[in-house]
Amino acid sequence: MSTGFHIVVCAGIVPDPLQTLEPVSGPQGWALKNEMMLPACLDPWASHALFEAANLAKNVSDSKVWLVTLGPKAKVQQVMMTMAQKVPFELVALDGAANGFTDAAETAAALANAIEGIAGLDKSRLLLFGGWESASRGAGATLQIVGERLGITEQFQGVDQITIKDNGAMEILERVEGGSHQVSECSSAPAVLGWATGNLPEPPNNSQIGMQNMRLIMPALQKAPATKIGTADIAYKGIELPKQQRNTRIVKDVPVEEIAREIVDWLRG
């Protein structure tokens, strides 16, 4: 019996974090202004999950990595041109909306159906990876719902490290309050791991990995099914950009206690 893992990474396509995002309402519901013109990237939290998945697959023989993503096909192709050079994976793409106004439950249902349809996937060896947070909507629920729909009840969130023991069990380091970590042990797959930042740096570009991945990525994009994630039924009472506020006062020789008191009073106000 194989001891390797089948690792599925759920990752969203998001606008570059340095861009100003302005919400607009249209016939299809809420979206981002000029969304298709904004430069895009793989969700930063999901990127960590992908790098950790590739590292685990490299160190555990007979393991394989799939990247499942839902987003506009043109944006997915743009992002994959960069991500394909980082680590080996097989792409499973869905062509649909990826803005921050999509519903977590509907998104999770689409992702779970796509994962169910992966040829050769062994659920008894499945590790479902993804971001603990998200740069698109920060719902913190999508990955959990995907795991539940796949029947995976062993779930860990805020993961920074996973260690495979000699007996096949997984030791998992999860973030908890106060800057501490909780050490958990999972006897075997399947399991869901929502990653924080992990411990790995971003891998350098590798053209050979890129050419190997692109042979599978382009056919996967051509076959990406249109996936409707409804937003028209969701009503938002008010949406606006965060207001920038800056009050600067230069003073000298003020006691630390007085400065602290003023800051507390300002926060309370």
Whose tokens are 């992990």? That residue is 198
**90 - beta bridge partners?**
66
Q: Which residue in 113, 69, 116, 60 sits closest to 90, CA to CA?
A: 69
For residue 1, the model assigns a pLDDT of: 35
DSSP state of 204: P
What does the pLDDT profile of the chain (269 residues) look like in tens digits? Answer: 357 899 999 988 887 767 777 777 766 666 777 777 777 888 888 899 999 999 999 999 999 999 999 888 888 998 999 899 999 999 999 988 776 677 788 888 999 999 999 998 989 999 999 888 877 766 678 889 999 999 998 999 889 999 988 888 899 988 888 778 889 888 888 999 999 888 888 889 999 999 999 998 998 988 888 888 765 566 666 666 667 777 777 878 888 898 899 889 888 87
Task: Quote the pLDDT of residue 23.
Answer: 73
Report which residue type is found at 9: V
The amino acid present at 181, given as its one-letter code, is H
pLDDT at 192: 93
Q: How many residues does the chain have?
A: 269
CB atoms within 10 A of CB 52: 24
Q: Return the number of other C-beta atoms located less than 10 Å from residue 133's C-beta.
A: 20
Question: Residue 88: which residues within 8 A CB-CB, separation 6 or more?
Answer: 54, 57, 65, 209, 212, 213
Q: Which two tokens stand for residue 7?
A: 């690792």
Please name every residue paired with 156 in a beta bridge, in sequence order, or none if there are none.
193
Give the pair of three-digit tokens for residue 86: 């980082």
CATH numbers and ranges of domains, the chain: 6-222 (3.40.50.620)
What's the predicted TM-score (pTM) here? 0.80
Q: Which H or E run includes 50? A: helix 44-59
**Residue 259: per-residue pLDDT:** 87
